[in-house]
Each structure stands twice: as structure tokens, then as C-alpha cells.
Amino acid sequence: MTQTPVYLHAEGEVAHLVLNRPERRNALSRAMWRSIADLVQRVAEDKKLKVLVVRGADSSAFAAGADISEFDEVYATEESTREYSEGIAAAMRALVELDKATVAMIQGPCVGGGCALALACDVRFADRSARLGITPAKLGLAYTLEDTKRLVDVVGPSVAKDILFTGRIADAEEAYRIGLIDRLYGPSELADQTRSWAADVAAASQFSVRMVKRTVRRILNGQTEDDSATRRDFFDAFRSPDFAEGTAAFLEKRKPRFPYA
């Protein structure tokens, strides 16, 4: 097994972004944050890849948060603080803006920066070992607006305040109940169910997937009515190769083989 703390592993059309620092429960170092942005960009540029799974290398942890042992160094000056924060923001932005479907596969602790990373994915699947929380209030830190918005978008403002005010850790059952995770499985089911979902998404029209992501992002950014851009997206779909193939496959009673990548 590679000793690289974060790496890409491809399984056909599905890429896995693997956090691989089990001795530190995948605590996210400054170098890992930088690598994440670069690795996600590689996924974006590879037309063979259609789905990204973000996970820990084993079942012990998703990510226990940022690497606190680096805090004296990265927060030493205003300049180092800005550089560190920009590296984290670049990783989050790369995930949020990736025009392919993303899923966080969560086992064990998913705390602080780890939870923020999971929230940057489109959906979150977990097993019953998962523990989720965001803990700036326990460290005397603030939380960025973009990270806070992603939490609010998922769980709503009141629950987000509760999570952030207390810094408490939610078990998997509570996280599922409040919407912090989208699907909850037994430990023996999670990997197979995540791979099954990823395969279903990879088999779907990637034109449609990208349009869904673009439209939901507009809604989350406050848009409530169609404009010329959204109407153009809607009408462009009828002229896409995927629409022609999807219609033909339906009429011929076969599975579609979508050409769009």
C-alpha cells in the first residue's frame, strides 16, 4: 500500500480520493489540503472518470479534522494564516465546483475539516461507526462563511447553530436524522452500496448530471427564477447527443449508452 497521505485510485469510471494517514486518523495536513485541490483537478480533466468517491484508506476514520500539530506554524503570522486558509478553501472549492458527481463515504470520525470536506461533496453515505462534528467553538476559532453556508444548506440554520455553538459530536443515527448524512448502512454494506450508487450515476447521462449540479448550485446561491442562462441550458438538452441516445434507447427497450463525457 502507498504511504502517500492522500492519493487517487481509479476503478473504471469511478475515482477514489483516498485519505491515507491512519496513524493520525487522517488528520488533514497543510500538504494534504494542497494535494486535494490538485487531485480533484486531475479528476476534472480526465474524461474517463465520471464519479468521485472521497473516503479514508480503511474503516478507522474518514478524517479527524485539521492537523492541530501544525497550528503553531500555520497560524504563526497573518501571512501564514492566509496561505493556510487559502489552501483549504482551494480544496473545498475544487470539490464544490467539480462538474462530476461526488460522494463522501464516511466511517469513524468525520470532524472539523473532515466534516467540511464531506459537506463539499454532493452527498454523504456513512456506516454506524461514523461520528460527525464541527468544533471551532472548542478551539476558540471562527468558521468561514463558505463552510458555514454549506452546513446551513444541508441541515438548516437552527441545527447548524446547534452544531457550531456546542462543537458536539453527533453519532451516525443523529447525523442521519438531521440530514448531515444522506444514507446510513451497516459496516459490511457501506462500500458496496457506495460503489453501486457510483456505478448508477456513471451509467446515467453525464450531461444531465452536470445540468443538475449547475442548477442546484444556482438555487443554493439564491436564484429563484429562470433566466436566459437556465432557459438556454434547458433547451440545449433537446439538441444534445445524450437526449437522442436516451430517447432511442427507451423506444428500443434497451439500456442507453450515453456519448456525452
Confidence of residue 261 (pLDDT cuts 50, 70, 90): low
Same structural domain, 150 and 240 = no
Residues 75 and 51 in one domain: yes
Q: Are residues 32 and 54 in the same domain?
A: yes
| Residues 113 and 229 occupy one common structural domain | no
CATH number (domain holding residue 21): 3.90.226.10
Please state the pTM of the whole predicted model.
0.95
161 occurs within a structural domain: yes
Q: What confidence score (pLDDT) does residue 251 get? A: 97
pLDDT given for residue 181 in this prediction: 98
| Boundary of a domain, candidates 181, 201, 221 | 201
* 211 in the same domain as 92: no
Q: How far apart are alpha carbons 261 and 248 in whole angstroms?
A: 18
The verdict on residue 259 lying in a domain is no
Q: Closest Cα to residue 14, out of 144, 203, 168, 150?
A: 203
The fraction of the chain above a pLDDT of 70, given in percent, is 99
Examine the domain organization and report whether 103 and 216 are in the same domain. Answer: no
Residue where a domain terminates, one of 164, 181, 201: 201
Compute the mean pLDDT over every residue in the chain, rounded to the nearest whole number.
Answer: 96
Helix (H, G, I), strand (E, B) or coil at 54: strand
Find the mean pLDDT for residues 28-48. Answer: 96
Cβ neighbours of residue 227 closer than 8 Å, sequence gap 6 or more: none
Domain extent at residue 227? 205-251
pLDDT band at 3 (very low <50, low <70, confident <90, very high): confident
State the average pLDDT over residues 89-114.
97
Number of domains in the chain: 2
Q: Smallest Cα–Cα separation from 128: which of 70, 171, 170, 81?
A: 171
How many helices (DSSP H) and strands (DSSP E) are in the chain? 11, 9
Q: Quote the percentage of the chain above a pLDDT of 90.
A: 95
162 in any annotated domain: yes
**Residue 171's pLDDT is what?**
98
- Same domain as 232, residue 160: no
Residues 149 and 78 in one domain: yes
Q: Is 1 among the domain residues?
A: no
For residue 6, the model assigns a pLDDT of 97
pLDDT for res 258 = 94
CATH of the domain at 221: 1.10.12.10
Q: Is the pLDDT of residue 1 over 60?
A: no
Residue 2 has pLDDT above 90, yes or no: no
Is 246 among the domain residues?
yes
Looking at the fold, whether 213 and 227 belong to one and the same domain comes out as yes
Same domain, 124 and 235: no
- Taking alpha carbons only, the member of 163, 147, 58 closest to residue 106 is 58
Based on the fold, state whether residues 109 and 132 are members of the same structural domain: yes
The answer to whether position 256 is within a domain reads: no
**Tens digit of pLDDT for each residue in 155-200?**
999 999 999 999 999 999 999 999 999 999 999 999 999 999 999 9
> Would you say residue 257 lies in a domain?
no
Asked if residue 221 and residue 186 are part of one domain, the reply reads no
Please say if the pLDDT value at position 51 is more than 60.
Answer: yes
